[in-house]
Amino acid sequence: MSDEKILKDLQNAILGYDSTAAVRAAKAAIAAKMDPLVAIEKGFAPSIEEIGEKFEKMEIYLPELMLAADAMRAGLALLLPLIPKGSKGAKATVIMGTVQGDVHEIGKNIVSSMLMAGGFNVVDLGVDVKTIAFVEEAKKAGAKIIGASALMSSTIGSQKDIVDYLVSSGDRKKHAVLVGGGPTTKEWAKEIGADGCGMTAVEAVKLATKFAKGR
Report in angstroms how near the CB of residue 152 gets to ligand B12 at its nearest: 3
Report in angstroms how near the CB of residue 61 gets to ligand B12 at its nearest: 9
Q: Does 195 bind ligand B12 (CB under 6 A)?
A: no
Q: What's the longest Cα–Cα distance across the chain?
A: 56
Cβ partners under 8 Å of residue 124, min gap 6? 96, 97, 108, 109, 112
Query: Residues binding ligand B12: what is the number (CB under 6 A)?
Result: 40
Q: Does 49 bind ligand B12 (CB under 6 A)?
A: yes
Give the DSSP H or E segment for 178.
Answer: strand 176-180
Please, which residue, 28 or 152, has the CB nearer to ligand B12?
Answer: 152
- Residue 7 CA to residue 124 CA, distance in Å, equals 29
Please choose, out of 22-30, 83-91, 134-142, 178-186, the segment that lies near ligand B12 by the rule CB under 6 A.
178-186
Please, which residue, 4 or 56, has the CB nearer to ligand B12?
Answer: 56
Report in angstroms how near the CB of residue 207 gets to ligand B12 at its nearest: 6
Residue 96, strand partner residues? 124, 147
Please, which residue, 55 or 188, has the CB nearer to ligand B12?
Answer: 55
Report in angstroms how near the CB of residue 73 gets to ligand B12 at its nearest: 6
Report in angstroms how near the CB of residue 4 gets to ligand B12 at its nearest: 21
Q: Which of 65, 74, 82, 133 binds ligand B12 (CB under 6 A)?
A: 65
Using DSSP, state whether 135 is helix, strand or coil: helix
- Residue 112 CA to residue 86 CA, distance in Å, equals 12
Q: Does 51 bind ligand B12 (CB under 6 A)?
A: yes
Contact 101, 151 (CB under 8 A): no
Q: Does 193 bind ligand B12 (CB under 6 A)?
A: no
Q: Which of 6, 39, 106, 122 binds ligand B12 (CB under 6 A)?
A: 106
Please list, residue by residue across 14-26, b when 16 or more beta carbons sit within 10 angstroms of its beta carbon and e when fewer do. Answer: bbebbbebbbebb
3-state SS record for 56-115: HCCCCCHHHHHHHHHHHHHHHHHHHHHCCCCCCCCCCEEEEEEECCCCCCHHHHHHHHHH
Q: Which of 13, 83, 110, 116 binds ligand B12 (CB under 6 A)?
A: 110
Binding site for ligand B12 (CB under 6 A): 45, 48-49, 51-52, 55-56, 62, 65-66, 69, 101-108, 110-111, 147-149, 151-154, 178-183, 198-201, 204, 207
